[in-house]
Amino acid sequence: MPDASPDPIPAATLVLMRPGPDAPELLMIERGAKMAFAPGALVFPGGRIDPDDYGLGGELQGAAKVAAIRETLEETGIGVALEPSPGEALEVGLRRDLHGGQPFSALLARHGLSLRPTDLVPFARWCPTFREARNFDTHFFLARAPADSRLPTADNGESVHALWTTAAEILARADAGEAHIIFPTRRNLERLARFASYEEAAADAAAHPVETIVPWIEGREGAQWLCIPEGRGYPVTAERMDSVRRG
């Protein structure tokens, strides 16, 4: 059974997808080496749900979508699910003002922007509960990359590198010791690597209603394994603890 821990931090993350030459490409960032959680790891853009996100989105699911949109803009400079499309100059300004502490709601109102939350498709919800790690209750969403989106750029704070890459490429780099990915990211990349398009990923999300995944440790054949439930859309549901990175 999972270990007892303090209440997890509500958070959201966005799996942004665009067509690639051989497989869909995903937007990912490399976290700064000095970050308290998952330093140096490759992750999807995302972060905590702020009080202002509830003001824009209402209940938890809506606020999580707002947080995913806001954090993606802050960490990569790409504006998602914004109406009208802001363009590069405005994206740069919005990102600067968010980093300066201005509320997202105020910035949207100032520039006549609105959100399209239906652009984000619920994909998963993960809530690890281990004493030795900082715990987040994270809502994962899928979205298509804007057709006019520019190259992502890191914010040189939480993110030190931003890139488009395929799920298979990141998994191969991690297996070769060239990249670090934490347990939830690895499981979601394995799931995403099976899809040839955004449409396939969205269909899989629809086929597996989101239920909170709480990993647990169990003994198997003399070793400790970190496990998740079967039937949630994940092709791999257990990993030996001696190879797991949790944070």
**Domains, the chain, ranges and CATH?**
9-211 (3.90.79.10)
- pLDDT one-digit tens code per residue, 133-180: 578 999 999 999 988 777 888 877 777 788 999 999 999 999 999 999
Distance CA 33, CA 99 (A): 19
Identify any residues that bridge with 218 across adjacent strands, giving them in sequence order. 225
Residue 63 has pLDDT above 90, yes or no: yes
pLDDT digits (tens, 9 = 90+) for 17-41: 999 999 999 999 998 656 656 667 8
d(CA 40, CA 25) in angstroms, rounded, equals 21
List, for residues 168-213, the tens digit of each pLDDT value: 999 999 999 999 999 999 999 999 999 999 999 999 999 999 999 9
* CA dist list (Å): 90 to 25, 48, 156: 25, 24, 19
Give the type of residue at 15: V
How far is 145 from 26, CA to CA, in rounded Å? Answer: 9
Q: How does DSSP assign 174-192, residue by residue?
A: HHTTSS---HHHHHHHHHH
Reduced to 3 states (helix: H, G, I; strand: E, B; else coil), residue 9 is strand
Q: Which residue, among 234, 238, 235, has the nearest Cα to 221 in the 3D structure?
A: 238
C-beta of residue 12 within 8 angstroms of C-beta of residue 65? yes
Q: Please, which contacts does 101-110 make with residues 24 or more away whose CB atoms are closer than 8 Å?
A: 103/52, 104/50, 104/52, 104/53, 104/56, 104/66, 104/70, 105/52, 105/55, 105/56, 108/56
| H-helix segments, the chain | 51-57, 60-76, 87-99, 104-110, 167-175, 183-192, 198-207
Query: What average pLDDT does range 221-238 have in this prediction?
Result: 94
Helix, strand, coil share of the chain (percent; to 5): 30, 25, 45
Name the token pair of 246: 């949790």
- Residue 140: exposure state from Cβ atoms within 10 A (0-12, 13-18, ≥19): buried
